[in-house]
Structure 1
């Protein structure tokens, strides 16, 4: 219940936010979701799978490892990609890896007319509170 409340509260601070979700990539489960419209369970489950592919897909993981090596990175096991922003024809999607729980991702979906910088700033500000509610 606390996670749903945290997602709902954070959505109110994100400009033109239509939906939020919190995903556990290890299990592939959508742990919490808040939307302004009804969506099928299949659509919501696909969000969890997409987040896992974005952050942990084989090609993405390999690219991150190689790029980290080539640029003199730390060589640690820390995940390379922390935030991913996707622009579609009518939506803005923000995916953010939790700092406390690196295998969990917070997602916001906003109208494309939202200011991306403001969306990202507000999303960053909400990450700790939402991930702390898990």
Structure 2
């Protein structure tokens, strides 16, 4: 199955989902994307850059290092944050780090009126299938 098809299939199971994307933070690229509405390429490019900032920005790296040190973990690249939820005025954004590929993040965007618990549950259920499609 193609990555775009896997994203589309996942979106169909997630309540009020209007967009999905798959980001490689190492390259800074959006590897796959599906949206119900068209968006300029500049906006889609910003999704990849913003995702990298959320998970690997300088302050985030400092927090991860502090948690690793406090727990006695000696790892140069600890990955403490696995999921991030962002509520905007009209939308809910879910960012989930892929377990098997910690430098990849799956993103779903839903209307804000969606049931948050169901969005998170369905997004988690879709993660492995989307990652496997790469």
Band of TM-score, shorter chain: over 0.9
Deviation at 1:73, TM superposition (A): 5.6
TM-score by length of 2: 0.95
Q: Which residue of 2 aligns with 1:53?
A: 53
Matches within 5 A, 1:23-102: 23-70=23-70, 72=71, 74-76=73-75, 77-102=77-102
Runs of 4+ in 1 over 4 A off after TM superposition: none
Partners of 2:22 and 2:106 within 8 A in 1: yes
Number of residue pairs the alignment of both structures matches: 133
Hey, what's the Cα distance between the residues in 1 that align with 2:115 and 2:109? 12
Deviation at 1:74, TM superposition (A): 3.7
Partners of 2:68 and 2:78 within 8 A in 1: no
Deviation at 1:69, TM superposition (A): 2.6
Hey, what's the Cα distance between the residues in 1 that align with 2:85 and 2:29? 21
Unaligned runs of 5+ in 1: none
Hey, what's the Cα distance between the residues in 2 that align with 1:73 and 1:112? 39
Alignment root-mean-square deviation, CA:
1.2
1:11 aligns with 2:11: yes
Hey, what's the Cα distance between the residues in 1 that align with 2:69 and 2:122? 32
